[in-house]
Structures are given as structure tokens and as C-alpha cells.
Amino acid sequence: MRLGFCLPQSGPLASTEALVAVAERAEQIGVDSLWVSERLLWPLNPRSPYPAAPDGRLPEAAKIQLDPLETLAFVAARTSTARLGTSIVNLPFHNPLVLARRFATLDVLSGGRVCVGLGNGWSEDEFEAVGVPARGRGRRIDEALAAMKAVWTREPVEFAGEYFRIPRSRIQPKPIQQPHPPLYLAAFAPAALRRVALEADGWNPAGLPLAEMASTFRSICAEAEQAGRDPSTLELVVRANSSLANRPLSRERPPFVGDRGQLAGDIAATRELGAHELFFDALGSRHVHTLADLTAAMEQLFELARRG
């Protein structure tokens, strides 16, 4: 099971100094991948509850958010081995031609280290801000994925759909990774999970109980097999929103939140359910306030993971 870590891309720690320090230290200790996310805005009067928080409130750290692809391009120049992933970029907010070119450029500049993690979007405020309707976004996402794959894999490129059109053109660069960088989708609704089975290279869940994660991934693989795909090619790439406590927490705790023994158990369970990759996000931990805290949390989490 590969191991990764989220970069200090949001909140008061987001800085060039912190990005370089965490990325370089991560490679020194053997981290396999580095990850970023996307948040367009922090609405003062949000119309949609934040799905990752019990109270539906966006974390304060999300008020400051470096753009994901520019952040990875910066980090690519300071690293040499770690894979560089998005978890996630919301596909409906972007033109697929422009986004595909940006990912292809990043793959070239990084020497073929990019992982493309995409999501559906959930914030009504963000949909409004980019001028895209939230209703009917499933069809738009399906078409955008097809357009991105066309940009990555065809030469010349030509695409005609309901929402997007690309005239017959030469579009370079192509990604180093062929046919394209690994494509992971964050999905929870049935239609989105079916999209993983039919179109993606893997599933990128976060925040689910591990037993539910295991059963859902089995269902994805079964549907992929029914569609004629080899289910063994699909990867389970788990995002662990982590916080290390000084004492054991109650049974109602979220996964990857607890003391060393509880987190070690969660890591072992993730490995046992067949996850291909596990990456930690410690930025939301109540014990992380400084760059030194974040680096220490990374080292502690990787020590736990490697012991297991």
C-alpha cells in the first residue's frame, strides 16, 4: 500500500516555505505521493452544508486556499520522486480542454508524476460563481471526461458534444503517462459510483466508515466487471482526514481520528481491505498549528503506517 500526505496548501500555513519544507521532508522519509485540493471560495452565508463536517460548516482554514495545479507545479520543481495528485479538483467548474492541457503540462514538467483526482462539486455558491448549473451536472461531467481523454490520447483532436466542442486540432503536449495519467474520482451517489466503474482508474473516498468503504469498492469492481472491464485494474485510493489524540476516543470517532493505537488499527484495516494507496491530511488536526507541528504529524503518521 502506497503512502501519501497532503501539502500545506490551505490556511495560515499555506506558504512557499511550508510547501518546500513538507515536500522535501516527505521525499526524505519515503512518502510516495503529495496531494492538494480545490476550494474556490468561502461564502459568508453558505447555501450548502459542507459534507465533510458534522455541523456543515466550512473549516476556517479554507478561507486561504492556494490553487491546486499551480501549487503542484511549484512543488514539482522541488521534488523528484513523489507522485503529485489532486483530491480533488471539481470537474464541472472547468472547461475540459483547458483542464486537460493543464494536467498534461504538469505531467510533462514533473516527469510523469501526476494523478488526476476529480469530483462533482457540491457548493451551490461555487456553481453560481463559475456560471454553471448544479442541476444536470452528471451529463456535463460524463461529457467533460470524454473530452479530456480525447485531448490526452488523440492527435489530431476533434470532439463534439452537447456542452463542449473542440474543432479538429493539434493539441500538445500529451501527458508522459500513457494513455493518460491515472484518473481517480471522488464519488458517493450511485450514478457517480457507476462513473468510477465505467470511466476511472480508481475511487478516492474520504470520511466513510472502513466497512462501508470496502463494500462500496466491491460493488464498483463488480459493476466494472459486468461492463467488460478488468476489475483488478481499479485502485482504491483513500484520503484519511487525520488527527492524532493523546488518549483513546469513543467508538463514535471518525476513522483516522484517535490515539496512536486507534490510528494504527485504522491503517491496518485499510491495508486489509485492499487499498492501493492511503494518504493523510493532517491540516485539520487540532494539534497542528505550526509548520513544525505539521512535519511532526507527518512523521508520526508514517511511522505508524510503516510499523503496520
Q: Which strand (E) or helix (H) includes residue 197? A: helix 190-199
Residue-level pLDDT at 39: 95
pLDDT digits (tens, 9 = 90+) for 4-20: 999 999 999 999 999 99
Mean pLDDT of 70-97: 98
Q: What is the pLDDT of residue 159?
A: 98
Backbone φ/ψ region at 278: left (φ over 0), alpha (ψ -120 to 50), beta = beta
pLDDT of residue 308: 65
Tell whether the model's pLDDT for residue 70 goes beyond 80: yes
Specify the amino acid at residue 185. Answer: L
* pLDDT of amino acid 54: 76
Q: CA dihedral in degrees (4, 7, 11, 13; nearest 10)? A: 120
Give the pLDDT of residue 296: 96
The set of cell numbers assigned to 125 is 455558491
Phi, psi of 95 (to 5 degrees): -70, 130
Q: How confident is the model at residue 188 (pLDDT cuts 50, 70, 90)?
A: very high
On the question of pLDDT at 91 being above 90, the answer is yes
Cell reading at 76: 514539482
| Average pLDDT over the chain, rounded to an integer | 95
Over 90: is that where the pLDDT of 58 sits? Answer: no
Q: Is the pLDDT of residue 252 over 90?
A: no
pLDDT at 95 (0 to 100): 98
Length of the chain: 308
Q: State pLDDT tens for residues 200-236.
A: 999 999 999 999 999 999 999 999 999 999 999 999 9
Q: What is the CA radius of gyration of the chain?
A: 19
3-state helix, strand and coil shares in percent for the chain, rounded to the nearest 5:
40, 20, 40
**Confidence band for 307, pLDDT divided at 50, 70 and 90:** confident
Confidence tier at 162 by pLDDT (50, 70, 90): very high
Across the strands, what pairs with 3? 278
Domains of the chain, CATH where assigned: 2-307 (3.20.20.30)
